[in-house]
Amino acid sequence: MYKNIFKYDEMKRAEHMAVRNTVGWYFWTHQLLEITGPDVTAFLDYMFPNDIASLAVGRDRYTVMLNEDGEIIDDVVVMRVSEDTYWVSTLFATKLDDWWYFHQGDYDVEWSEITEDWAMYAVQGPRSRELVNVLAEKSVDGLKFFEIADNAIRGIPCKINRGGFTGEKLGYEIYVNPDDGEALETMLKAEAEKLGGREVTEFQVMAWTLPTEAGFYYMRDLAHTNPLEVGLDRNICWDKDFIGKEALLKVKETGPAREMVGFEVPETDHYIRAKQFGGPGEPVYVDGEEVGRVSKLVYSYVQEKNIGYILAKKDVLHPGDRLNVHGYDIVISGRSWLG
Amino acid sequence: MSKTIDERIPQNSGEGAGFKTFNAVQTPWNKLFSYQEALHYASRFEAVLSAAATQALRIMVPDYETRAQMMCEEAYQRLYVTGQYYGDDDGFGIHPFMCGQFAGALIGDKGDDALLMCGRCQDFGTYRAEKELDVCDWDICGSELCRTTTMSLQGQANASAERRRKGPTMDYLMVEAKGCGDRHCRIIAESREKYPAPPHKLWESFGPAVTDEYKKFTEEEDCVAESMMFREECNYRFVNGTNNETDSSNQMINLSTAASLYILPAVAEAVKRGYVTRDTADHILKCVLEAAGKAMFGERYAIRACREWLGVPDSVGEDGRLLGGLMEVLLQSLVCGYEVEAFNKDEVILVIDRGGLAIGATQEICEAHLWMWNGMVKTLVNAMWSVWEEDSPAGKLRVKIAKKIDKFM
């Protein structure tokens, strides 16, 4: 009954573990906005709470985007591709575009969506550098984390960014013209196989199981939370003005009302609903009072157990606490399972 | 006749009196129905009309397999073509890296919630998706509609996939269907590359699924009765797993019905295929829809309940205003424009915006309503009363409710 949709799926397991043990590659195109203009740095610094002004050319930075209430409305990677030009990688370009439009004011900036111009391939795992170096004309050995540079893959012009959404220390993202995608895929497939790697094809692996093991979020986890609740406040630049700052300062003063905690479900085959499929998520009760909702519940192929997140009232759930959710025992834990 | 309009309270009555704004539809006797109730009413009424239209189709094409296959082919092809031209991937939260036909599950998920078919997504991945519904107003129409909606989803999924990087194909199956008496509707879409199964005809869309052992069956006590957009625990918003979020504000305007989306197009297809002539099809539809309308108020308690529901005062007797009031509630619930030309004990004349009533741009739905209303008035009021179209201006359906003698009625 309720057979686990992850554990027994050998394809998901093989794709997941390829990234953990050797190398996995996959089509991972996000939406891209290119923004430029004399005021571009100041504008982005106002749009995002993390420090954009200090970003050097060729480097990128992860940041959330907030509304006036300090709630997270997107999380993006900002890449500074030249002095006055940035790329912003998002999965919600339409909303982001509207948001910028309504807040542009007197900022002298222009932006356009360039998603159609670039296909992006993730190459992730301990042997990802080896794989990329076999293909790239310039070695990526010196590429720092969150650094993007021009390169070429056997004659195909590309940009290679070191980064990823898997928690792997080594991971790269290759941006090419979509017309070159098929050729790149052929090369990646052949070279990855030589290293014992493979293509990751399952959405649930690339977006859920790999990131969750590393404690990362998908935007559904972050909706209607603020950075202090979900532990994304560490890099907020409080010295500058940004949308949502006033509200967030109040949260900072009083302390967040909620927090994202990890949890594990010992029983393999369960029925606990999580927000990752949509909807409100399973309620979590303590002494009859609802103290949170299950945000995510996947399977860790590394730890061989069900893992997930609960968005809970602050300081109610602690690691080691044992609860029952929808008839299944759970154990509250930390939020990273990669050790 | 005088073409007078009985005195009625204006819709903005009380504005500025300190009450909070409340979205509602209003009967001619100032009874208010909340947005939520109005949407449910419209959905239910249209489901009944759709069920009657399905019965008509069953007369036109008696063989189950022939009918179901025709319905599935027609819906698949239409939704496939529509999906090619009008795909709104961003609007469904389908991200650029998503490949193959599973993205169609996100389209279905959102559509279900908008149509009050509440339930939950149990799985969505590149090779498998599962959606479980607890409620479906269309469950009274018949099992062939369940098959058809599944294939329309297949059409949308296939069209959506063509805009994306090539990925696995998915076979959409409705392995449980409320229209067949099951507790839930359950769509399982599974990749045939990963989960091989013999091919099937289009109409054979009930499975079984290869991945049946992965399904999650929700017990009665955990079932829901409302869409996310009407549930507090969801913050009154539909939210899917890719964080596509909508509220209820545009659901009425976008309401689709089984008749407009599937049944009447299937009737047109039956005509096209020569199973029935257009005249005969209309004759059968008229007969069945009028009969369905008459059945709605065949029992006296139904009339009393309707009067109570609409807030009809005792001073209003047995006349066309009863149906007129009911029609006004439906039209408002469908956000269909109309004007009241006459509303009195002798006659009611409503000039209805055809475009607003032609739900899903299906023009035949206007006549379908007219036939249904004509049946309803016979029992809601009495057999001296009729409903007919008269002197309609361009783009309008001018509906008259009055007494009429017709020796060939």
Q: Does B111 touch chain A (CB under 8 A)?
A: no
Question: Domain boundaries in chain A?
Answer: 23-29+118-196, 31-116
Q: State how far the Cα of A232 lies from the Cα of B116, in Å rounded to an integer.
A: 36
Q: List CB contacts (< 8 A) between B193 and chain A.
A: none
Q: Quote the percentage of chain A above a pLDDT of 90.
A: 99
CB of A76 closer than 8 Å to CB of A62 = yes
CB of A298 closer than 8 Å to CB of A216 = no
Across the range A143-162, mean pLDDT stands at 97
End-to-end CA distance of chain B: 22
- For B75-229, strand residue ranges (E) read 119-124, 128-133, 170-176, 185-191
Tens of pLDDT, residue by residue over A59-69, are 999 999 999 99
Across the range A73-90, mean pLDDT stands at 97
The CATH number fitting domain A23-29+118-196, selected from 3.30.2310.20, 2.70.98.20, 3.30.1360.120, 3.40.50.720: 3.30.1360.120
CA neighbor of B109 nearest in space, from B214, B240, B212, B9: B240
Give backbone dihedrals phi and psi of B42, rounded to 5 degrees, phi first.
Answer: -60, -45
Q: Mind giving me the DSSP string for A130-154?
A: HHHHHHBSS--TTPPTTBEEEEEET
Q: At what angle do helices B143-162 and B103-114 cross, to 10 degrees?
A: 130
Q: State how far the Cα of B389 lies from the Cα of B375, in Å rounded to an integer.
A: 14
Mean pLDDT score of chain A, rounded to an integer?
Answer: 97
- What is the complex's ipTM, to 2 decimals? 0.95
Q: State how far the Cα of A151 lies from the Cα of A156, in Å rounded to an integer.
A: 9
Q: Which own/partner contact pairs does A10-17 have at CB distance under 8 Å and 24+ positions apart?
A: A11/A201, A11/A202, A11/B127, A11/B194, A12/A202, A12/A204, A12/A205, A12/A209, A12/A301, A13/A301, A14/A198, A15/A198, A15/A199, A15/A200, A15/A201, A15/A202, A15/A205, A16/A200, A16/A205, A16/A209, A16/A210, A16/A301, A17/A301, A17/A302
Across the range B338-346, mean pLDDT stands at 97
Amino acid found at A325: V
Across the range B262-275, mean pLDDT stands at 98
CB of B127 closer than 8 Å to CB of B191 = yes
Beta carbons of B127 and A181 less than 8 Å apart: no
Q: List CB contacts (< 8 A) between A2 and chain B.
A: 216
End-to-end CA distance of chain A: 31
CB of B130 closer than 8 Å to CB of B170 = no
Across the range A141-169, mean pLDDT stands at 97
Across the range A258-285, mean pLDDT stands at 97
The encoded tokens of residue A120 equal 């992006």
Question: Domain boundaries in chain B?
Answer: 24-42+275-403, 62-243
Beta carbons of A201 and B128 less than 8 Å apart: no
Q: Looking at the predicted structure, is the pLDDT value of residue B250 above 80?
A: no
Q: What confidence tier does B3 reach under pLDDT thresholds 50, 70, 90? A: confident
Q: Quote the percentage of chain A above a pLDDT of 70.
A: 100
- Coil, strand or helix: which one is A124? strand
Which of B97, B121, B242 is closest, CB to CB, to A27? B97
Q: List CB contacts (< 8 A) between A93 and chain B.
A: 90
pLDDT value of position B87: 75
Across the range A199-227, mean pLDDT stands at 97
Q: How close does chain A come to B25, measured CA to CA in Å? A: 28
For the domain A31-116, what is the CATH superfamily, name and number?
Aminomethyltransferase beta-barrel domains (3.30.70.1400)
User: Residues 274..303 of B with a Cβ closer than 8 Å to A: which?
Assistant: none
Q: Looking at the predicted structure, is the pLDDT value of residue B21 above 90?
A: no
Q: What confidence tier does B1 reach under pLDDT thresholds 50, 70, 90? A: low
Q: State how far the Cα of B48 lies from the Cα of B44, in Å rounded to an integer.
A: 6
Q: State how far the Cα of B209 lies from the Cα of B173, in Å rounded to an integer.
A: 7
Q: Does A186 touch chain B (CB under 8 A)?
A: no
Nearest CA in chain A to B92: A92
Beta carbons of B121 and A277 less than 8 Å apart: yes
Give me the CATH topology for the region B24-42+275-403: Muramoyl-pentapeptide Carboxypeptidase; domain 2 (3.30.1380)
- For B179-329, strand residue ranges (E) read 185-191, 238-239, 245-246
Cis peptide before B313 (omega within 30 of 0): no
Reported pTM: 0.95
Q: Does B161 touch chain A (CB under 8 A)?
A: no
Q: State how far the Cα of A91 lies from the Cα of A70, in Å rounded to an integer.
A: 20
* Selected residue of B88, B92, B95 to mutate for chain A interface (largest A Cβ count, 10 A): B95
Across the range A78-90, mean pLDDT stands at 97
Across the range B253-275, mean pLDDT stands at 93
